[in-house]
């Protein structure tokens, strides 16, 4: 039996050093027979890249660009190119502060969808700190135009543990993306909007192209997030 070849890869920078060792350990324990992993450092210089390399990790460095939005899309496009050039069938995007279960590849792969993700919260979610899940829904604005927004915490109870659901998008924190999709869509940002990253535009592109996106609502992955305020060039 031939197993699809999967690249598990994350963009990162020096601000995520508190979790990257656990990320590598977690990924190396994934229970799937045909995958490689890669860390793509987009720090302002190569110092952190060299630090990770000295630990024996599979890591490359890319140019950060003008700000964190550039940095993220630059790293994602490096990963995209590697998938296409080196014959991978899927990219499992696992952000460097998420630690998915060992069977995550099997769970997402067996759905047989072009883009499948999971639920994760944007902070330490709880009754006193109801951070939203990184789950995007379409939202009609007062102007009549349709945009997107995060699902509200009070809406989430109708979503979690309802199986595989078609959605607009769910971030790229833990998302399996097929080679076919990556061959059609690049990652990009828009200088007009300082609060929107490449995942927003990626899912808008898929929406406009009629590509269905799915989330396995039975999987909630712990997010070990750092403060967004620590990113100086956000």
**Residue 76, H or E segment:** helix 68-85
Domain count, the chain: 1
Residue 21 belongs to a domain = yes
The pLDDT value given to residue 105: 98
Domain residues for 105?
Answer: 6-118+163-216
**Residue 110, H or E segment:** none
Residue 130 belongs to a domain = no
Residue 128 belongs to a domain = no
pLDDT, tens digit, for every residue of 167-178?
Answer: 999 989 999 999
pTM over cut 0.75:
yes
The pLDDT value given to residue 228: 53
Contacts of 213 (CB under 8 A, 6+ apart): 115, 116, 117, 166, 167, 168, 169, 170, 203, 206, 207
- Decide the pairing of beta strands 6-12 and 136-140: unpaired
Residue 223 belongs to a domain = no
Secondary structure of residue 162 in the 3-state scheme: coil
Question: The domain spanning residue 33 has which CATH number?
Answer: 3.90.550.10
Residue 157 belongs to a domain = no
Over residues 69-79, mean pLDDT? 94
């Amino acid at each position: 039996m031939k197993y699809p070849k999967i690249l598990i890869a994350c963009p990162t920078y020096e601000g995520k050093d508190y979790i990257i060792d656990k990320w590598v350990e977690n990924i190396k324990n994934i229970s799937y027979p045909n995958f490689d992993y890669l860390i793509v450092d987009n720090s302002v210089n190569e110092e952190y890249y060299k630090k990770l390399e000295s630990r024996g990790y599979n890591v490359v460095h890319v140019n950060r660009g003008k700000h964190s939005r550039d940095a993220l899309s630059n790293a994602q496009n490096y990963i995209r190119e590697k998938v296409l050039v080196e014959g991978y069938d899927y990219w499992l995007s696992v952000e460097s502060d998420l630690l998915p279960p060992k069977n995550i590849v099997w769970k997402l792969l067996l759905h047989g969808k072009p883009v499948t993700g999971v639920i994760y919260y944007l902070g330490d979610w709880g009754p006193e700190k109801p951070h939203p899940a990184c789950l995007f829904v379409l939202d009609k604005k007062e102007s009549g135009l349709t945009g997107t927004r995060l699902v509200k915490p009070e809406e989430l109870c109708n979503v979690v543990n309802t199986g595989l659901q078609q959605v607009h998008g769910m971030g790229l924190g833990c998302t399996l993306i097929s080679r076919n999709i990556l061959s059609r869509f690049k990652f990009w940002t828009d200088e007009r909007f300082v609060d929107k990253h490449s995942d927003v535009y990626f899912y808008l592109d898929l929406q406009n192209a009629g590509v269905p996106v799915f989330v396995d609502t039975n999987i909630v992955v712990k997010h070990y997030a750092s403060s967004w305020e620590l990113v100086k060039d956000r």
